[in-house]
Structure 1
Amino acid sequence: MDEQLTSGKLQHVRLGYLCRLQTGLTVDGTRELDGDVVTRPYLRVANVQAGHLNLDSVSNITVPRAMAKRSELRSGDVLMTEGGDLDKLGRGTVWRGELDGCLHQNHVFALRTNPERLDARYLAWVTQSGYGRSYFESTGTKTTNLASTNSSKILDFRIPLPELSEQLRIADFLDAETARIDLLLSKRRQMRDLMALRRERITEQVLGLEEGHSTRLVPLKYLARDVSVGIVVTPAKWYVDDGGVPALRGLNVQPGRILSESLIRISDKGHAENRKSRLNADDVVVVRTGQAGAAAVVPREFDGANCIDLIIVRLGNKLDPRYVTYVLNSDYAKGQVGLNSVGSIQAHFNVGAMKQLPIPAASRSEQAAKVAILDREIGSMDALSERLSAQDRLLTERRQALITAAVTGQLDVTTARPAHDRDF
């Protein structure tokens, strides 16, 4: 196989010719630990994020000294994870010696570049570009919930390879430009966090959920007409690609709204066999697993739809659906859900706990008045938050496009205007 391919003026070289791949340690509780052993910090997949490291929680491991030497990280290594979400496969992060003598798990690869031919920072940027993402997402092995790559696929990746001096210019340019974009994204996250705190404070004040408030709380089961659960297990034979009946899942329920993305459909037979999980407009559905407790009103377009693994609150004439969702999406209700959820990996909230969840008692007219106040007071904040989120998406797209253009030769970084001369 040829070492390099040429595309226009930019050669593409197989990564295996430019660096060495180091595999990590396999955790083995039965390993013999007598003799010359050392205890060192070691990185797991959770520590290696897209473009950065999360070292808030780093485990230690005790292994024979010779084994540790074979898996010790060096400053300048480029870390890549073997498995996880498809869009994170192969995303490189440069290790800068943050922890002395640090080792790495076998599910984290360390690529040690030939510094005379390939700059580590440049390699990391290539893996984060659209060009790199296309390669790893197309070659990754996909399962139901995860994807994975391997050392052969990583080493077979052909990267655009300009002269080393140009690699350094590109890496410097992207370090500066992406830092500016990341700062803007960070400021927007801070704004959204502050608005979320203000939003919650107003919600608690209006609903009477502030600590020390004398609001009368009544278990939901005494106010709602019925609290039940949708289809818990859906046989594969019920799923259909076309036609059929829409079925809402936890993925479709966000606090205060229903999303049509990732909507599935079930056969008419499945729908007929599960009458109790059919939805009516103005029912309130609540997530049981994952984002447990998130609640939304069923809109008119989903009247008659079915649902899977959702709690269904049929309100009757004592409760306003918007009032109920404001209560259930409050921090107060989230705390109640958290206390009654089980599961170490994904929180799971059951229908019995939902029936017992205390909510503020109020007449229908009082509920309507509170909803009107909340809509007025926090509606503008929600609209601003949506605009900020839309801007974040544009900034993220801009960041990705900039990286891709720089590493594929579409952007000459030597003539690009400095950041202080441009506006996004």
Structure 2
Amino acid sequence: MDNVKLVPELRFPGFDDDWKKVNLSKVFNITAGGDIKKSHVSHIKTSEFPYPIYANAEKAKGLYGFSNIFKVNENVITVTGRGVNIGIAHARDHKFYPIVRLLILKPKHDIDIVFFEYLINQINLFIESTGVPQLTAPQLSTYSVNEPTLREQQKIANFLTAVDKRIGLLKQKKTALETYKKGLMQKIFNQEIRFKPDSNSPLSRGVRGVSTGVCSIQNSNNYPDWEEKSFISSFPVVTNGFVGTATPHYRETGICYIQGKNIKKNSINNKGMIFINDEFHTKQKNSQLKENDILMVQSGHVGECAVVSKDYEDSNCHALLIAKPNNSSDSKFITYYFYSFLGRKSIWKISIGNTVKHILASDLKKIQLSFPSLQEQQKIADCLSAIDQSINQLTKQINQTTQFKKGLLQRMFV
């Protein structure tokens, strides 16, 4: 066993040396933060209080506030030493003030602190505690890691940093697009902007670097004015999904039995999907679903809704409101409306209950909302769907890149 070489599975060309197993106490002087006087603390950064204060928290990399003094001046690593986020490492290359049980790791020799941030975050820390989990400096000092040469540390750190920057950029684009969509929806449903018929020009305003599909938005009166109507005028049938015990009819495979947990953000999520047998489905005719039906959560996170796509036609559902359209409305337009500020407000008005909110089918039927022509409804739905597709694509890229990084971390370290 002593002759086993310490080399990673995945390695950059030009590196042949074995990695060396070292104790963290041989690499770092490890100390803990402490208290700070209130007179040295500000919750906003100013010219007088320019130095970050870091504590044991995961959000914002542990940023607590700002100080007019600093305690750490060197390139170091901090490791959370208390709470549920114990053991999270961050490389710090600036002046700051550590507080409470935040651990500070000061290098004893020349290393790449970013490499060691990734390395320490790979350690499976075992903390035995009956109360709040706590990691002390002596405890962390006992852990061993495998250390390559400084040049290889730098190569790995630079590569993983580039991957993290890619993930960060994708997240920024997604956030910007979500913010843009939210503002666009508010303008659309407030009728501040209108759609122009028979146009295939790109969005008049969008998010730089992100394709949002085809939809022309202009102040135009080429479509008829919107008309205020009751919900039931376009959805004459509003019923309840099956309410009762269905567990004896559950199967590992079969007919989808959609529940409130499967409805979120204008889509049906098959995560945790329940399946039922044919006999139960056939018996529960009132809760059988057709394409373009709208499903709405009526208890708990009320108002969450989605359109039944072709994939879920002939499914069944549990304790959901089912709205069946006529030919005068686009179901997707209506669900987007219910995710707008005006739509949320209309749902809130009919919600009952204090602890757990609830809405009734009879009240949903009476909701008044402004309907554009069917053609403009479809334009709006297509536009917002195109933006959602871009958001979903960014989400997919974020997940793929995150998984790629996870695989790298497993293969690039010993």
Kindly report which structure 2 residues correspond to 1:18-417, keeping only aligned pairs within 5 A, or say none.
47-49=57-59, 53=61, 55=63, 76-80=76-80, 91-94=88-91, 100=97, 102-103=99-100, 110=103, 112=105, 115-116=108-109, 120-127=113-120, 132=122, 136=124, 151=135, 159-164=145-150, 166-167=152-153, 170-171=156-157, 174-175=160-161, 178-179=164-165, 182-183=168-169, 185-187=171-173, 189-191=175-177, 193-194=179-180, 197-198=183-184, 201-202=187-188, 204-205=190-191, 217=228, 220=231, 224-228=236-240, 231=243, 242-243=252-253, 245-265=255-275, 279-287=289-297, 293-308=303-318, 311-315=320-324, 317=326, 320-337=330-347, 349-352=357-360, 355=364, 358-360=367-369, 362=371, 368-397=374-403, 399-400=405-406, 407-408=412-413
Measured against aligned partners, the alpha-carbon deviations of 1:219-262 in whole angstroms (never above 9, x if no partner) come to 64675432546659x79x65956235423234433444323333
Offset at residue 325 of structure 1 (A): 1.8
Distance (whole Å) between structure 2 residues aligned to residue 269 and residue 73 of structure 1: 70
Offset at residue 166 of structure 1 (A): 4.5
Measured against aligned partners, the alpha-carbon deviations of 1:249-286 in whole angstroms (never above 9, x if no partner) come to 34433444323333233578987998765545433112
Distance (whole Å) between structure 2 residues aligned to residue 16 and residue 266 of structure 1: 58
Structure having the larger proportion of residues in helix: 1
The residue type paired with residue 191 of structure 2 is Q
In the alignment, is the contact (CA less than 8 A) between 1:281 and 1:300 conserved in 2?
yes
| Match of residue 210 from structure 2 | none
Offset at residue 119 of structure 1 (A): 5.4
| Match of residue 145 from structure 1 | none
Indicate the SS of the match to 2:191: helix
| Match of residue 203 from structure 2 | none
| Match of residue 7 from structure 1 | 6
- Which stretch has the larger CA shift, 151-160 or 173-182? 151-160
Q: How many residues align?
A: 352
Indicate the SS of the match to 1:333: helix
The Cα RMSD (Å) is 5.7
Measured against aligned partners, the alpha-carbon deviations of 1:25-49 in whole angstroms (never above 9, x if no partner) come to 9xxxxxxxxxx9965799777x414
Q: 1:404 to 1:298 in 2, by over 3 A?
A: same
Indicate the SS of the match to 1:261: coil
Q: TM-score, normalised by structure 1?
A: 0.57
Distance (whole Å) between structure 1 residues aligned to residue 21 and residue 175 of structure 2: 38
* Structure 2 unaligned blocks of 5 or more: 8-17, 44-52, 195-218, 220-224
| Match of residue 209 from structure 2 | none
Q: TM-score, normalised by structure 2?
A: 0.58
In the alignment, is the contact (CA less than 8 A) between 1:203 and 1:374 conserved in 2?
no
Identity %: 17
In the alignment, is the contact (CA less than 8 A) between 1:92 and 1:124 conserved in 2?
yes
In the alignment, is the contact (CA less than 8 A) between 1:22 and 1:111 conserved in 2?
yes
Measured against aligned partners, the alpha-carbon deviations of 1:99-140 in whole angstroms (never above 9, x if no partner) come to 646335xxxx64636544875432322255xxx3xx759x89
Q: 1:331 to 1:403 in 2, by over 3 A?
A: farther
Distance (whole Å) between structure 2 residues aligned to residue 113 and residue 343 of structure 1: 56
Distance (whole Å) between structure 2 residues aligned to residue 290 and residue 54 of structure 1: 33
Q: Which has the larger radius of gyration?
A: 2
Distance (whole Å) between structure 1 residues aligned to residue 159 and residue 311 of structure 2: 49
Q: 1:103 to 1:393 in 2, by over 3 A?
A: same
Measured against aligned partners, the alpha-carbon deviations of 1:5-41 in whole angstroms (never above 9, x if no partner) come to 852322345668766888999xxxxxxxxxx996579
In the alignment, is the contact (CA less than 8 A) between 1:221 and 1:356 conserved in 2?
yes
* Structure 1 unaligned blocks of 5 or more: 26-35, 60-71, 142-147, 410-424
The residue type paired with residue 374 of structure 1 is I
